[in-house]
């Protein structure tokens, strides 16, 4: 009965070999193999493969760029530490003679600072500043994007990170042309209490009571150009809401009022917690290697309420500022390299699997369309259940 046994053959020799770890582990193979003789390569499959490769490279590159740029997180917290003073940086041009202007600072604690004695006042030409590159009218929409760039960590650190404190640029030579010296540039930095306060620019003999001094009303012109207005360390390359703005008026009695909300801000790439702020508002971080990834400064939001006034009201330029009790930490973070590898593997595998499915569905669609065309054309044979007879068989 057993022909193999009659001829001295072993039936087990023609099946899978039993025993052994390598032979038994094959039962767990989740990747079935197909012999090359049962596969067929087509030009359509080649084009599809090239498309999938390009898509995978494009998406993998975008994932790499996204990982390299990192992402920003914004954290609001109560300001830590005790700070007492804050530096105010001002650079403004007013079309009046310098000796006709008075600048004062007064805060909620009652302290009054004679800012005119601490700030520099240089005669200058109005046209030189109003026509400068980048100078624009207040609230001009096209400069909002440029201001928005200065709120990102990469841009801020690229501009000021690791650099020493900057200084105001020099006042240009005014020459001897008509109108030379009829405007005044007021610039410099001064220390004030870190409390709510205001500083204002008024005309001589108006504002605070001063004996023997009174400026004729026809000389009033409080049009102005703000080149720099910031709080904390001076970083001229950072653009604040009022920087490079100007306003003009033909009224002699005009009151410009700006309301500023100052928020202490830290820009950092460092994963460690931000340093405690004590008197850092007046002294920037030293430019050593440990602090090149951190910049401590202040942001502010500004609103303007300006209008003509009567002769019983004091005209001038008034800045009222309030210090918010919170701190904003803007941190640029980048995930680990393993996170990037997982994302790239997911992208490539998703493209290949999805592309394979689409290719198979397209193949099935072509097959169904081809079968329908063959049926409509009457080209079915005996294998499909239809038999076609010759005309001679009908006799």
| d(C-alpha 354, C-alpha 371), whole Å | 26
Residue-wise pLDDT tens digits, 271-316: 766 555 544 444 444 433 346 778 888 889 899 888 899 888 889 9
Check residue 143 and report its DSSP letter.
Answer: G
Q: In sequence order, what are the beta bridge partners of 193?
A: 85
| d(C-alpha 91, C-alpha 224), whole Å | 10
Residue 21 Cα distances to 18, 28, 29, 163, 284, angstroms: 10, 12, 13, 66, 68
In 3D space, the residue among 291, 322, 297, 327 whose CA is nearest the CA of residue 74 turns out to be: 327
Residue-wise pLDDT tens digits, 193-237: 888 888 889 888 777 665 557 788 888 999 999 999 999 888 887
Contact 107, 197 (CB under 8 A): yes
pLDDT of 58 over the 90 cut: yes
Which one has a higher pLDDT value, 76 or 152?
76
| d(C-alpha 154, C-alpha 355), whole Å | 37
143-147-153 Cα angle (round to 5): 155
pLDDT of 123 over the 70 cut: yes
pLDDT tier, 184 (very low <50, low <70, confident <90, very high otherwise): very high
Classify residue 232 as left (phi > 0), alpha (psi -120 to 50) or beta: left
Strand runs labelled E in the chain: 71-78, 85-94, 101-107, 112-113, 120-124, 136-137, 183-193, 197-203, 224-231, 245-247, 254-268, 294-304, 307-308, 316-323, 326-333
> What is the rounded average pLDDT of the residues 76-92?
80
Which helix H or strand E contains 151, and what residues bound it? none
When the pLDDT of each residue in the chain is averaged and rounded to a whole number, the result is 77
Distance of alpha carbon 6 from the chain centroid: 86
Q: In sequence order, what are the beta bridge partners of 307?
A: 255
| d(C-alpha 229, C-alpha 301), whole Å | 12
Predicted local confidence at residue 164, as pLDDT = 54
pLDDT of 345 over the 50 cut: yes
């Amino acid at each position: 009965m057993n022909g193999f046994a009659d001829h001295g053959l072993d039936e087990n020799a023609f099946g899978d070999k039993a025993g052994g770890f390598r032979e038994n582990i094959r039962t767990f193979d989740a990747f079935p193999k197909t012999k090359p003789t049962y596969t067929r390569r087509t030009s359509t499959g080649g084009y599809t493969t090239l498309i999938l490769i390009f898509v995978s490279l494009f998406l993998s590159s975008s994932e790499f760029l996204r990982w390299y740029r990192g992402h920003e997180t914004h954290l609001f917290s109560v300001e830590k530490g005790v700070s007492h003073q804050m530096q105010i940086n001002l650079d403004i041009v007013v079309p009046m003679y310098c000796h006709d202007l008075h600048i004062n600072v007064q805060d909620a604690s009652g302290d009054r600072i004679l800012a005119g004695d601490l700030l520099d006042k240089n005669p200058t030409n109005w046209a030189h500043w109003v026509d400068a590159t980048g100078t624009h009218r207040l609230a001009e929409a096209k400069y909002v994007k440029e201001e928005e760039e200065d709120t990102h960590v990469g841009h801020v650190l690229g501009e000021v990170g690791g650099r020493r404190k900057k200084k105001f640029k020099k006042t240009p030579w005014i020459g001897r042309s008509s109108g030379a010296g009829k405007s005044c540039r007021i610039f410099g930095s001064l220390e004030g209490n870190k409390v709510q306060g205001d500083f204002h620019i008024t005309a001589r003999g108006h504002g605070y009571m001063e004996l023997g001094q009174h400026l004729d009303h026809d000389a009033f012109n409080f049009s102005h150009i703000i080149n720099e207005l910031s709080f904390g360390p001076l970083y001229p390359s950072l653009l604040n809401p009022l920087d490079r703005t100007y306003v003009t008026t033909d009224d002699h009695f005009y009151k410009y009022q700006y309301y500023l909300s100052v928020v202490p801000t830290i820009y950092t790439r460092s994963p460690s917690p931000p340093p405690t702020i004590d008197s850092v508002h007046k002294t920037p971080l030293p430019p050593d290697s440990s602090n090149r990834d951190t910049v401590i400064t202040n942001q502010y939001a500004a609103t303007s309420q300006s209008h003509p006034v009567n002769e019983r009201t004091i005209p001038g330029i008034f800045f009222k500022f309030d210090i918010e009790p919170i701190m904003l930490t803007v941190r640029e973070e980048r995930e680990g390299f393993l996170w990037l590898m997982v994302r790239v593997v997911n992208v490539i595998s998703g493209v290949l699997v999805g592309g394979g499915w689409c290719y198979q569905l397209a193949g099935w669609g072509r097959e169904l369309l081809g079968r329908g065309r063959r049926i409509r054309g009457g080209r079915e044979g005996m294998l499909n259940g239809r038999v076609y007879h010759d005309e001679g068989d009908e006799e």
